[in-house]
Chain A
């Protein structure tokens, strides 16, 4: 079944919102740094995960577990323990980035379905097929760095299902390899599970605007009516050669509704919605729009055009000033 809708859940309420509004699958994380949204108070303990699985399975939907950070040798058991729990709970798949953890999963839980996380940074069919041959990976989430023709080349040359990001916050796009914020915080997002640990973030209203700081380093200063963004180093405004601007990346949200007909045609297995850190209200709104859009494109791809109301709803939820087609669209090519 192509274009499965995969929605985020940071809590049981968000999971129910995703299922009730038409997600085919929901992805979640456990309550620690084994996943890349390790925020305080977010995510699922074992009992909540079990209840979420029951809720989704009763309604014929799937639950995927993100175990997408990189284990460190002294805490290896925390990650393998999470794989064991996922298997015991009956997760429909685990989303892994680390090859060692994949090996552990294959050896100890051969029945457990494996997805390659975007954090695994596999951008070629050779890399994707490597994970297939060695660990039996059944689906890969491609990093948001490829143009659509490049995505198509991967799809044509692999038996692995391909999942693409469809909507949500963008990162600086060296997924799985980004250490940027660790220069400020001393914690790498790939092992600590978060780019800007809340304990290092300060927000302050000043006479010149709303300031965000990461461990004292000024990230941005928002004017009175300017839209704010997440306090991440990559999306800060910095003074470079006498000019103050987004020196690394502008905070924008990915929105690929326009590309749905092409994605359907090339056989994309699933569309992923970003945002496990967001509330049930966000999950409800985004899931509703994407369910309607995917149903519409499947019904008639030729006449498909995103409804203005869908775009307006999604723009309202976006981080930053605007939305973008990201690397998928490179018209100059």
Chain B
């Protein structure tokens, strides 16, 4: 079972770093891994909107927007902010935990445009994990497969 927490000293340190470099790395990775699967779905409602993903225990915030060509790092005011812990994000991404369950138990927080939040949730649910997995950098693949298998 996936069981870990991030020490507060680490998050305190990371949260003081600028958000731009991690946001750029996040966007690069998302463009490579997520975008090819997303663009086959009806992702038009995501385009032109601004987002922030906060990994609370890491003190890390990724800010980005979605354009017609994919993800791009951004510093504008986000319309949707999704916050959770590193562990819960991994459980969500590996389909081991249901977002509504995490939301009911207050482990996942969504702030801002509720409708946009629902579009994001439903699009992520509709993604074929196999298509996403195939795009992962090879060194990450075994760890993610182990995570998904439980």
Contacts and interface: CB of A to CB of B under 8 A. Distances in A.
Interface of A: 10-14, 39-42, 45, 198-199, 201-205, 210, 222, 224-229, 277-282, 284-285, 316-320
Nearest to A17: B95
B122 A202 contact: no
A269 B149 CA distance: 34
Contacts of A317: 98, 101
A281 B122 contact: no
Contacts of B120: 41
A223 to B, nearest CB: 10
A320 B104 CA distance: 7
Given A41-B45, A203-B110, A281-B96, A316 B122 contact: no
B contact face: mostly helix, strand, loop, or mixed: helix
Contacts of B100: 277-279, 282, 319
B14 to A, nearest CB: 22
8 contacts: A40-B115, A41-B120, A228-B106, A279-B95, A279-B98, A279-B99, A281-B95, A284-B95
Interface residues of B, number: 30
Contact of A11 (B103, B104, B111, B126): B126
A279 B109 CA distance: 17
A13 B114 contact: no
B130 to A, nearest CB: 10
Given A12-B126, A41-B126, A281 B98 contact: yes
Contacts of B114: 198-199, 201-203
Contacts of B119: 40-41
Contacts of B3: none
A277 B100 CA distance: 9
Q: Which of B45, B111, B114 gathers the greatest number of chain A CB atoms within 10 Å?
A: B114
Interface in B39-72: 42, 45
A305 B69 CA distance: 54
Contacts of B105: 227-228
Contact of B118 (A40, A228, A281): A40
B17 interface: no
